[in-house]
Each structure stands twice: as C-alpha cells, then as structure tokens.
Structure 1
Amino acid sequence: MCDRIVVPLTDIYRQELARPVDPRITAFAADIAAHYDGALGVLFYGSCLRESRLDGLMLDFYLIVESYDRAYDKAWLARANRLIPPNVFHAQHDRLAAKYAVLSLDDFRRQCAGKSRSVSVWARFAQPSRLVWQCGDAAAETIAAAAAAAPAALIGAARPLLPDLLQVNDLWSGAFALTYAAELRAERRTRSNIIFDAAPGWYEALTIPALAAADIPARIDGKSIHLTAPADRKAGERRWSRYRRDGKFISLARLAKATATFDGGIDYLAWKINRHAETDIKITDWQRRHPILAGIGLLPRLLASGAIK
C-alpha cells in the first residue's frame, strides 16, 4: 500500500483498551460482571468516555460472556440474546447509572468483523473504548483481537461509496455517516463529524492499518488519501441499502425486546432522543406502565418529526 511500517490493529487496540478510567467505572464494571457466570470482559464506550463528570449521565458498557446459556439462569433470556443480540439491561452502582449490552464472545467476534446484518457493533468499536474489567490476561487479549477487526470492517464496507481522493477526516466521517443512516438513530446529521473531532489522533493512527487490513490499496500524503483501486459503487449501494433496511428492523426489534429487560427503558429512550435530536418528549405514568404499547405509539411521531431516522 505504501512504504510506511503498518502497526497491527491489535497492537493499537491492546494499548487503547488498557488506558485508565475513573475508578468508579472500573468498580461499576466489576459489579456488573459479578452477576454473570462466564463473564469474560466489560468494555466501556460511547460519549461518556470523553466526560470527566459522570453524575447524571447514562454510561455505556458491553459485557462479553463465554456463552448465553452459561450467563443466564432464565432460558428465555439466553434465547432472546441468541436470536436478536444483544440483550440490554439497566444497572446502578455508587450513584452512577448505565445500560449494558450482553454479547457472547463468538457474537462479538463475528459482529466486529462485519459478519452481521447490523452495523452497530463494528461502528461502535471502530471508535475508542476501554476494557474496564476482564477475567484474565487471555480474555483481554482475545477481546482486543476481536475489537481490532472493527475499523477494517467499517472502512471496507464504506469504501465503494467514498470518493477516491479524500482527507483522513472525510474517510472516517463519511464511513460513520453511512452507519448512522443504517440504524434507527436520534443523532443529528453532524454526529459523524463530532465523532472524528473527538479523537482525531485515534483515527489518524488507525487509517493506514485499517486500509491495509481491509485490503484497500492507497497512497497517503500527510492527511490526504488516494484510494487507488476502483470500487464497485453499485454493489456498495446495494449493500448499504440492505444495511439500512435490515438495521432499522433490527433496531426496532431490539427496542421492543428492551422493554422486557431494561428497567426504565421508555424514559431512557425519551432522554436519548431529547439529548441528540433536541426534542422535548415527556413520558407519562401510563406509558411507563405499558412500555411496549407506548413505544409502538411513540414511534410514528418520532419518524414523522425526524427525531429518529
């Protein structure tokens, strides 16, 4: 691709995942893991990763487990997690609140590599994250190797719809914009640019290794990238059309499932939409008592208003 030394993505991820966080986050992650047999690791990710004040925020974790059957004492939870991964739960610890998603190691590995109908996992783990609890060094290494597949999955999928000549920020912002359009999101259109601007050094370090891992020939000149091999744009458009169709259906299925697993899920959904779409949705007591019906009733309004897309 070029004459530069390409640092393996796993090396970059191993270092990033090991960076320290607020001790309360580490304790919170350990408390979550303690409730699951076969817990392998807890990843901390999302916008709260960039915050120094955590009170009043909803933290985001992924709990990686050995298997769903071992993790749950209720068979229906294992089946639900296997059918439409992940299951999402609410937790509180030391005056902090979080939602956490549960994935088996096999599902996490597969989804980070882009082998799924949904973009959500590889879109998230192409971004910075931290491994804030692990059951041992071997688990930490395995999780780092799995997460390190995400940037190549993202760039490889986005390549056909990106221009041949672009800047580093355009490469990543353009790729993230595609993933946001493929999910039921409450984010503003500028969200993909915000993601890059929050950690430009991270994406600059990933660029050459991700292009190499995705087998995309390129010439790099400073922050300019020339993607030198032709791409099949029509095939890319068909692929992303499937991602948009399947991703939004899967997002709806996850929301419906979360009403059975996530305490206060309807309030969290309203908070999330209000925060990112600058709306003022208020949840009634009746909606809290009937979250599935509330979600069904709320969705057409959200779609019509553009609060989620």
Structure 2
Amino acid sequence: MGRSLMPDTLPSLVTAELTAPADPRAAAMAGALAAKYPDASRAVLFYGSCLREKNLDGLMLDFYLIVSDYREAYGKCWLATANRLIPPNVFPFEHNGLIAKYAVLSEADFARLNGVGADNVSVWARFAQPARLLWVADDLARQRVVSAVASATPTLLSLARPMADAQDALSLWKAGFALTYNAELRAEKNGRSHSIVDADPERYRRFGEAALADGLPPSPKDAPARWRELQRRGKRLSVIRLAKASFTYAGGIDYLAWKINRHAGTTIVIKPWQRRWPLLGALTLLPRLFRGGAIR
C-alpha cells in the first residue's frame, strides 16, 4: 500500500515527536528522576538544545517532571507552596556522570501553562519546540502530556498572528519566538529566536500548517497590549524565580553565572559573599546584566 495522503494532524505530529528516539543516557536519567518522586511522578519530558547533541558529557540537560500534585511530591514541605504559587520549582540533578536541571509542574499546571490563557510564556514557548517524553507513568498520563503539548503551538501562533508581518506558518513562528524572547530574561544573543526556526524549517512548517488547518484559538483583540502584559509579567516572574532558585537550587548562583557567560560571552565571577547570600548576590547581578545586554 502507498503512503497515506491524509494531512498530518497536530496531535499526531506531537505524538510522533514526543515518542521519537532519544539518547539512552537521557532516558535512563529520566527514569532515575521519576524514581525520586515515586508517589507523584506522572511524566518526564526532555527538551532544549541538548536534544540535538550527540555527546551529552559536560552539558546541562533540561527536564520537566510532571507530578500528580505538589503535596504528593513534597509532602507538607514549604516547597509545595512555593511550587503552587510560583511554578515551577527548579532543582539540579546528577546521574551516571550527567548533570541536569529539572522543573516541577503538576499535571493541571502543565495543561494550563501551555494554553492560550496562560499568564506567562515560559512553558508554551518551550513546548512549542521539540521535546521527548522519556518516562510516563501510564496511558492516562501520556494522553494528558500529548494534549498539553499539542496546545503549545496553537497558543504561540494565535498570539503571534496579529503581530506578524506575514501570515504564513514560518513567519508566524518567527514573530512568536521573537516576542517570547522579550518576555523573559534571556542569556541569548540577538537573532536566536529566528535561528530556532531556521534550524529545522520543515518541522515548523508542518506543525504550523497542521495548527492552522485545525483552527487556532481566537487571537486577542488588543494584541500589542496583551504582549506588553506578557512581557512585563514575564520579566517580573523571571526575577522572582531567580530569587526562589537561590533557595531551591544548590549552587544556583554559580549556575546562573555559567549560563550567562556561556551564552553572552561575559566573564562574571561570583564572589564569596554572593555564595554566602545567594538571593542578594543574584539580585545584584541584574543591573550589570541589563547594562551589558547579557539578558533581555
């Protein structure tokens, strides 16, 4: 039989991408991460630039751990409240010589933050890009992850549509990523938002055309105002999450300096007093980073 001429649907594209092969070491790490939260783990997603790397040694891998409930994950610890009020919590992780950071979200928050009604861009902007589902608790958890991730692309394109110069799929993607990069503190160089699409235009064309064919959610009536709100809130949340990570992330200030130096070409060196008081130390970096253009 010949190949089906039926067009791809977005859920089918998302399912195929999430279940595509990944580095076995990353998959083993995902399983070990899920095992840290045996009563709460629902899924582990691998995302970010390391997806494209053949050698993971020396790199910082990125995972999202999806849990049933924050209380199930942490018990009565204050971390449950922090994760609920300012999602996600971020922690470091090591396994078999690899290092990673992982963000924790409940199933409910993961679905909400991938949708068009999300009050910040941080989740849907990431999961509109490629990811792998490396561990899942059961079929229901898999269905929920696919449904949540499948809403990320329509969210980005719907919000970008009124702001884009052209309405083809690739133009919407580039406009959307450019707008999201201005809604977070980013240790990235100019042009990074366009290079995401240029690195795999066929992938973004297929996903974009499938989303357009399915019908996008209604775009906001006042898109510039909506984006100003997302950008203001995104910058504030970035600072708040940075402050929170000073408590949840061992060595967080050193990681922050490493990431900025790596992406922006700066030579920030953390002083002893900044390690002793990481919250204050992290906040003192911000004026220097804005002046130098290391984060935008």
**Partner of 1:43 in structure 2?**
45
Equivalent in 55, 58, 62 of residue 57 of structure 2:
55
**Partner of 1:260 in structure 2?**
247
Q: Describe the superposition over 1:212-244 as per-residue Cα deviations: whole angstroms up to 9, x where unpaired.
A: 344389xxxxxxxxxxxxx87x81110000011
CA distance in 1, matches of 2:247, 2:112: 26
1:131, CA displacement in angstroms? 0.3
**Partner of 2:285 in structure 1?**
298
1:5, CA displacement in angstroms? 5.3
**Distance of aligned partners of 1:165 and 1:77 in 2 relative to their CA distance in 1, 3 Å threshold:** closer
Tell whether 2:239 aligns with 1:237. no
Equivalences for 1:185-224 in 2 at 5 Å?
185-215=186-216
- SS of the residue corresponding to residue 14 of structure 1 reads helix
**Residue identity matched to 1:305:** G
* Aligned length in residues: 291
**Distance of aligned partners of 1:197 and 1:96 in 2 relative to their CA distance in 1, 3 Å threshold:** same
Give yes or no for contact 1:153–1:214 (8 Å, CA) kept in 2: no
**Residue identity matched to 2:124:** W
1:114, CA displacement in angstroms? 2.7
CA distance in 1, matches of 2:243, 2:268: 19
CA distance in 1, matches of 2:51, 2:75: 31
Tell whether 2:108 aligns with 1:106. yes
Give yes or no for contact 2:170–2:208 (8 Å, CA) kept in 1: no
1:103, CA displacement in angstroms? 0.3
CA distance in 2, matches of 1:58, 1:300: 26
| Structure 1 gaps, min length 5 | 218-230
- SS of the residue corresponding to residue 262 of structure 2 reads helix
Equivalent in 155, 169, 172 of residue 157 of structure 2:
155
- SS of the residue corresponding to residue 56 of structure 2 reads coil
CA distance in 1, matches of 2:237, 2:100: 22
- SS of the residue corresponding to residue 92 of structure 1 reads strand
**Residue identity matched to 1:299:** L
**Partner of 1:121 in structure 2?**
123
TM-score (norm 2): 0.93
**Residue identity matched to 1:304:** R
Q: Describe the superposition over 1:236-271 as per-residue Cα deviations: whole angstroms up to 9, x where unpaired.
A: 110000011111001111111111111111111111
CA distance in 1, matches of 2:36, 2:181: 32
CA distance in 2, matches of 1:179, 1:5: 33
**Residue identity matched to 1:276:** H
| Structure 2 gaps, min length 5 | none
CA root-mean-square deviation: 1.8
Q: Describe the superposition over 1:113-146 as per-residue Cα deviations: whole angstroms up to 9, x where unpaired.
A: 1322110100000000000111122211221111
Give yes or no for contact 1:126–1:150 (8 Å, CA) kept in 2: yes
**Partner of 2:260 in structure 1?**
273
CA distance in 2, matches of 1:131, 1:94: 20
**Residue identity matched to 1:62:** Y
**Residue identity matched to 1:251:** S
Percent of paired sites with the same residue: 53
CA distance in 2, matches of 1:74, 1:205: 45
1:291, CA displacement in angstroms? 0.8
CA distance in 1, matches of 2:6, 2:181: 32
